[in-house]
Amino acid sequence: MKKVCRSVRYLLIFFALGSAGACTRSASDPQPVGSPTGPSGTVSLELTDAPIDDASVQGVFVTVAQVKIDGKVFPAFTGKKTINVLALQNGNVESLGLSRLEAGTYSNISLVLDYSTDASGNAPGCYVLSTGNQKYNLAEGGKQQVELKAAKALDVKENAQTSLVMDLDLRKAVKDNNGASAGGYQFASENELQSMVRLVSKERTGAVTGKCSNTGSNRKVVVFAYPKGQFNKSAEVNSQFQGAVTSAAVDGNGTYKLSFLEEGNYELYFAGYQTSQNATTFQGLLQLNGALNLNSVSVKSGAEVRLDVSLGGLLSL
């Protein structure tokens, strides 16, 4: 009987120690979303990007250390992942995971970016790679990390898949401190970055694609999309089109694609940039030849609108 009591006492001590150890997790550590115990659906998350207006940049790398949904860890994403987001244009995406979550409404998704080291342990974690293979640390104010939060009501339905796309608009997010020739590059402030991240449900988006002719020599052309009625010419030109929903660069074949536009009516504007070996200079908005009206382009979910344009000269500012 004494042996039994001694064994029971040891077991109680063992479990008490185990419980104490389990309570050592910091209250500030993000908890996982957890395995669903009731009705559930699946959520996939992908990352995409809009182009950066700088001919001296060959890559922009970010290191994602964590993905959260409503402040809790998204279980499908593990470890760290370093991604060249500049390669994620024209509808290209990078998967951040697929996981089953409890059915219901969620309010935000966030990415935690590691400024210190990349997925291989090399410094820095987020940087611009110039055409001269020089790395420029994007860390703002000496910070070690930044959390980019996209607030949006997300409905996860029972036995259905919700496909989400997060758009990190580099054209807005990366500040050019006179580029590779001087101070390099830096992320915008943390507060500014929050407004530059866009989150959409993939099933509720469409695209606009087409071909541009008469783009001109040594000219980079970028097309910008605005919700109908929200384009203010002087304000947008002066701010380098900060109010655009998204943008796309016209490639060497004259094609462009504006991807992941939520259903609605949009205005499209084409802008010209003069390019040289180490610089890209804004020229102005471009006129269109012909009678094509780009002031009310209707985009439907799951559909692709084809708009071929012939570009003319510069519009007066």
Highest mean pLDDT among 6-10, 41-45, 271-275: 41-45
Give the start-to-end residue ranges of the domains of the chain: 31-195, 205-317
> pTM for this one?
0.86
- At 308, the amino acid letter reads D
- At 219, the amino acid letter reads R
Task: Give the chain's mean pLDDT.
Answer: 87
Report the C-alpha gap between 62 and 82 in whole angstroms.
Answer: 6
Q: CATH code for 205-317?
A: 2.60.40.1120
Report the C-alpha gap between 257 and 251 in whole angstroms.
Answer: 10
pLDDT per residue as tens digits for the range 250-301:
999 999 999 999 999 999 999 999 987 667 899 999 999 988 999 999 999 9
Give the closest residue to 109 by CA, choosing from 78, 72, 142, 155: 72
Q: What is the pLDDT of residue 175?
A: 87
pLDDT per residue as tens digits for the range 84-106:
999 999 999 999 999 999 999 99
Instruction: Give the pLDDT band (50/70/90) at residue 182.
Output: low
Q: What is the pLDDT of residue 249?
A: 94
Instruction: Give the pLDDT band (50/70/90) at residue 54.
Output: confident
